[in-house]
Amino acid sequence: MLISAYNPAILGDVLVVVLGADTPTQSTVTKANIVQISNDHQEVIGYNFFGLGAQLGLTNTDRGQVLLSKAQIAFLNQQLSQAGFEPQLMVQQESHFVVGEVLSCDPHPHSDHLHVCQIQVDEAQPLQIVCGAPNIAAGQKVVVAKVGTMMPSGKIIFPSKLRHVESLGMVCSARELALPNAQQRPGILVLPASFSVGAPIDLNNLAQSLKA
């Protein structure tokens, strides 16, 4: 997993790269303009790169998650090597927001409001996702945030367990996707049946697609 984010208005010229989930205790090592962050098992879970926005082609209009190209990843690995860190960043260009189809929606065995859903997002095995939305049902087309997604709020989707049941993603509401005029009441966004399972979703174009 590699999640990168850039928000100069809030953080300044800092590229944040996340490789793993936070732990209660962490340690950092700073070399040159790079901070390496490790978890309580001494596994590297991220880097902060300072002052490289211009060299990476990032701009002051970038806000949030950015998908880094092969050339940008190669440049960052070169910076890591020059600073004395072990280069380890890998390109990840697949879309994290995709169209999913709810194949099944069963009551959670340990909750009176959660559902355990099997959701098809590609040709592989369906994803099991625990969802608490009151309007989710089998047969729906929905927006799925896969593991490794950074939400507009900055929240990162990691594998999790909800009431002891594994959940590998998130079914999104319009509010969670920060769509214009999103309803504030609970409930996932249900897409028209014409949307194709597995198709990547560009949040900037989604609202316009739903109006068409």
pLDDT at 150: 85
pLDDT in tens, the chain (212 residues): 888 989 898 889 999 999 988 888 999 999 999 999 999 888 999 999 999 999 999 988 777 788 889 999 999 999 999 999 998 898 876 668 999 999 999 999 999 899 999 999 988 889 999 999 999 999 999 999 998 888 888 888 989 999 899 999 999 999 999 888 787 778 999 999 999 999 999 887 887 777 65
Those residues with Cβ within 8 angstroms of residue 201's Cβ, 6 or more apart along the chain or in another chain: 95, 97, 98, 99, 143
pLDDT at 118: 97
Residue pair 123/91 in contact by the 8 Å Cβ criterion? no
